[in-house]
Chains A and B, each alone.
Chain A
């Protein structure tokens, strides 16, 4: 069934909207809050009392409060109308952590008060939106499992000014966050990459954290590997060297983990990658159907973690942040 054009106004499409987006009053729903309903009941009581005693001042106050309730409804809508959501962004997180979606929001014409941003069932972020400057709002959502996390529509709401009404708008904004597997410490059997490096040396490697020697610090050595212990003893700066010669790199593979559970395997691999990264080693990752060459650095780490996050998931091809 096709909705007619007019109906579309009242039943906005559920498909996602593009940023930047400006809130239109027609998209804003408004209903009394529980306290608002209670207040309306109190007003009806006041009205009945005024009628019964034909007390004109009672009428005056009842109508004043009633009018103020009505006006506050208009203010609630006004407070929401015209908010501009300029852009959104997010950083990958590990499973069971809160994903943080950053929104840049700006207000034209006037300031907005006590605007709440949230995903359904998640913690609210309540902020004022200043006039003509971009406000930066973090909205949290708990993640559960690895992969691509889409938090569902963003709910922007407000009870301002009198808390009698809640105005809200549901925005199906296309946002997604990569969720890496939850890191899990576990036994890793590391093998040197056989394609480049010496076979003999490779066998020597039993673990990534085997310390070999100290050599004098050279500019460019990673800070994590400076021997601060030695430095504190009054020696010069030394850099710790670990097993694994230059050119021979660690390679994580599907078989590095003994566990048969895929998720557990991925979690242990994640832990391993984080550890390797911390030690600034060169490493690669081989998964069934996925091969990442050796490398190091942040970009490489994220590439590996993302591969783990998306492993054997159908929507792998989608371009995500």
Chain B
């Protein structure tokens, strides 16, 4: 009962620290459950109440499991796993009388730590992970050293943690990684923000309210110019009036594109639970397990559930050539609806035919229509009627990029020009402390591509016609200040704000470094890392080599560590007198006169004097110096030096 009392507070502390990052993901009643049970146990310890009996515990366990099953709808999968763990974490302190139970409590805490890593992958959570592991390990040590003080256990925990870090790094970088997943079982995720397979009016203006990061693009050389920072994601083919849909799955690209102004960069993409990748317009390679499709969208073979890095190459100047037969669907429109828009487009088309104008001029006309008719770029567009394109073009005239893009693409198709809507991001934030562009959800954007003879698919951004500052300076400048979400509005710029901005930039840059070293580390990185040491993972020989390398490095570090662990204590290292004395003793021991544990210096010297007369004088002299240094106040550095010299020159064997 005593150790039960003594360990209760640290155990509950470890659980609280482990579960803290999970609290926002847990159902409120589970948080209440934990607080209630832990509070009860703390009170029980303080006031000496008896813990709940077996039957109460059983009832509570059943109730907790039922609660999870009811509130999550199932017992396995998704968030219910974390919920179950939290229920167990709440219950476990009720039965921690035995050593075994206390250890299992610590294991539960470790397990909760790993689940929080599956929710978030930031540097902050990583640092917190180390802290949490430190606390839990301290508790584990405390449980196994009941007579010790908590401070000692904490110290030992820190020691083990620090000693484990080199080995951890070794394993992290060298442990063979595979691409994709083992089973790929689905995981319910709280809805992540980002693009969907279809685009409705209002989707993007909702998305830009979100401050989350979408991805980070790291460049080795110059950054692309702001006006070319179009990050291509999904290509929407099917027009359903105001709604656009991916429609078909484009075939795989047969001939890779070549163009001018190449950029090589890497994108560290935040998990969005979808299969598409975002790349600078126009991507030209297939990084990792992805496919480059014929419409130049990149599709992963799996849904992206974790931050991952992709090495990409793009050309910002390109020509996609002829219109392929399957791309003719880029002319299709719904059978009816939006009559006025169709009529407008038809007039443009017939005008252009009669005047022998090119399609480019029709595009120009359409853009001018937006420019000249007082269209307003706004985050809060009014709702549109049953013929939304017509309503937008001729009545409301207020919209966000998706309104302009879908209306423009509609007009183009109606005028006989192949057009498609592209969803992605525009712009991004640069950081003075790192050579990367940080793209956030608030940079989400939609634009149009039209196919023009001799030019191929050409990007046209109708938003630019209305709000050029969106492209040139970003959203903050293009939208009225009172419409902006808080995080985007610059407000007053005082000294404090700029200082805060600087700190935020620094922190973001550190996060970027962290992401590219640890979070983005993939099997590709590992391959190139190992090939630098002549290990090629593709071959069997390479695999064996890498395994041997890991093993030998682990063994080597083990040996180094144990050498450090088992070496002389710090005390004797710090105590030069003791060190020299021990050296002296070992010299004598080698000569056949070992010191017994019970012998002090005088007895030892006397015994040697009796046994070996020829050594008597030297040994007595050295012992006298030692006694002065060790047992009197007359010792000083000079005498210490003399002591060292005497022992160094002492050769009893000769």
Contact = CB atoms under 8 A, between A and B. Distances in A.
B335 interface: no
Contacts of B156: 75, 161
Contacts of B110: 42, 65
Nearest to B176: A51
B481 to A, nearest CB: 38
B181 A54 contact: yes
Nearest to A54: B306
Nearest to A109: B569
B118 A163 contact: no
Interface stretch (A56-64, A140-148, A191-199, A305-313): A56-64
Contact of A61 (B133, B165, B565, B569): B133
Contacts of A35: 100, 103-104, 107
Contact of B163 (A51, A63, A71): A71
Contacts of A55: 117-118, 121, 305-306
Given A48-B182, A70-B164, A160-B145, 5 more contacts: A35-B100, A42-B107, A56-B520, A63-B167, A68-B161
Interface in B100-114: 100, 103-104, 107, 110-111, 113-114
B187 to A, nearest CB: 8
Given A61-B114, A67-B168, A159-B144, A78 B566 contact: yes
A160 B141 CA distance: 7
A20 B599 CA distance: 14
Contact of A46 (B114, B140, B183, B522): B114
Interface string A26-61: 000000001100110010001011011111111111
B172 interface: yes
B129 to A, nearest CB: 6
A51 B121 contact: no
B324 interface: no
Interface in B140-188: 140-141, 143-148, 156, 160-161, 163-165, 167-168, 171-172, 175, 177-185, 187
Contact of A84 (B111, B137, B305, B597): B597
Interface string A85-104: 01000000000000000000
Contacts of A59: 172, 175
7 contacts: A51-B177, A53-B187, A55-B305, A58-B117, A59-B172, A60-B117, A72-B160
Interface of B: 99-100, 103-104, 107, 110-111, 113-114, 117-118, 121, 125-126, 129-130, 133, 137, 140-141, 143-148, 156, 160-161, 163-165, 167-168, 171-172, 175, 177-185, 187, 305-308, 518-522, 558, 561-562, 565-566, 568-569, 571-572, 597
A70 B144 contact: no
Q: Is the contact region of chain B dominated by helix, strand, or loop, or is it mixed?
A: helix
Given A72-B160, A161-B156, A56 B171 contact: no
Given A75-B160, A78-B562, A53 B141 contact: no
A243 interface: no
Given A39-B107, A62-B114, A57 B561 contact: no
A67 B521 contact: no
Most buried by A among B146, B165, B184: B165
B144 A61 contact: no
Contacts of A128: 147-148
A162 interface: yes
Give chain A's interface residue range (CB within 8 Å of chain B): 35 or more
Contacts of B180: 54
Nearest to B164: A67
Contacts of B99: 163
A185 interface: no
B118 A71 contact: no
A52 B114 CA distance: 14
A71 B157 CA distance: 11
B149 to A, nearest CB: 11
A86 B103 CA distance: 34
Contacts of A274: none
B177 A54 contact: yes
Contact of A67 (B165, B179, B307, B568): B165
Contacts of B121: 55-57
A193 B34 CA distance: 80
Contacts of B572: 109
B140 A162 contact: yes
B290 to A, nearest CB: 14
A110 interface: yes
B561 A74 contact: yes
B114 A161 contact: no
A81 interface: yes
B522 A58 contact: no
A57 B521 CA distance: 10
Contacts of B118: 49, 53, 55, 58
Interface string A284-315: 00000000000000000000000000000000
B305 A53 contact: yes
A116 to B, nearest CB: 11
Contact of A57 (B117, B140, B181, B185): B117
Contacts of B569: 109-110
Identify the interface centre among A20, A63, A86: most chain B CB within 10 Å of its CB.
Answer: A63
